[in-house]
Structure 1
Amino acid sequence: MSKIDSVCVYCGSGSGRSPVYAETAHALGSDLAANGIELIYGGGGLGLMGEVARSVLAGGGRVTGVIPEFLVRRERMLTDVQELVVTQNMHERKMTMFERADAFVALPGGIGTLEELVEISTWAQLGQHSKPIVIVNVNGFWTPFLDLLSHMRNEEFIRAGFDMHIDVAKSAEEVLPLILERAEKTAEEHAPIQPARKHM
């Protein structure tokens, strides 16, 4: 897989303490729209979720929101997206987002964002997918999580052969190049070996 048509963005339903978080979400949405890449996201209209979705829409891009029924009012479901999928529960929501996305990006967020990032990384670790995963470590937000992963490796709970590829961007502008680079590497690694041609 080297072609990226859709990106799932995990992020907070709040805006966070620093304005840089919303600025990053807006910039990422603009990049997705400019490159013709569909946004798959959690369907809400609040916080960073609303910021990235509205930015894609403002740039003429396509947005698919996926939200469980019990969060429709709580997260103020964004209704002006091209497609809106209302699921019965969180498990169906996450699986739908996984199936529709070619890559995953984690912006700053809370426990839900962390849980989604950890789950999709675990699936990669267990060989269930090889889609690119990028963490946007703006303002050092994800540094404690990255330090924890390093600690797990040092203590040999993430062992050789069971690691996962998670790329780290410092800004929204670095996200798509990292995704495309990882997708290309993955495509090369999984390319079938061509038999050597016999010389006549």
Structure 2
Amino acid sequence: MPKVLGGSLEAHRREVRARVFEVVRAQLYERGFDAITLAGVAAEAGLGRTAMYNHFPDKESLLVAFVEDEAAQYVERLREAIDAEPDPVAQLTTFVRLQLRVLAEHHLPPGTALESALAPAAYRRISAHADPITEQLRAVLLAGVDAGSWPAQNLDVVVPMITAALGSRQVIDVSPELLEDAVEGAVRFVRRALGPGEVR
């Protein structure tokens, strides 16, 4: 019987997933989705193939689980950062900065590439993780309207426009010394786009 890591089955499961996701993260960003194999991930994570297949029956399920884990961690980080700010303007600024800085640090393969590589149901599961992020943005924008920070908005139009702008790698595909200027430029752009109000 394989050694149980962490002293319990649940701790073992968490430890295996943490090891595997660390390897997947590195391989995904270095080589891309197509180059990943379950056997290669298992070997680098120090797991036997059987143990790997017990957790992830195929590459698609591995990628979906990885994205779900990454998204859950990011959403929690985003909520904590926004909740720490005193007003909607500061919250929006935090949202924009964090979205772009995370995009600059890490990026999954382009959406069209993922969409063609995965079965439709799996791709929908991955795409669904944008919902908590857009819900957070919607809440910030509504709070700003209530506080008079910007005029009332048609959020069904504004939210996808902002998320599309912040999801473009062209915004942050600059040399490292210019990244912060690019991020702050995006902050000013989004705040001005929302309409009259103090732009600090």
TM-score computed with the length of structure 2 as normaliser: 0.29
Q: Greater relative contact order: 1 or 2 (C-alpha under 8 angstroms, separation 6 or more)?
A: 1
Larger Rg: 2
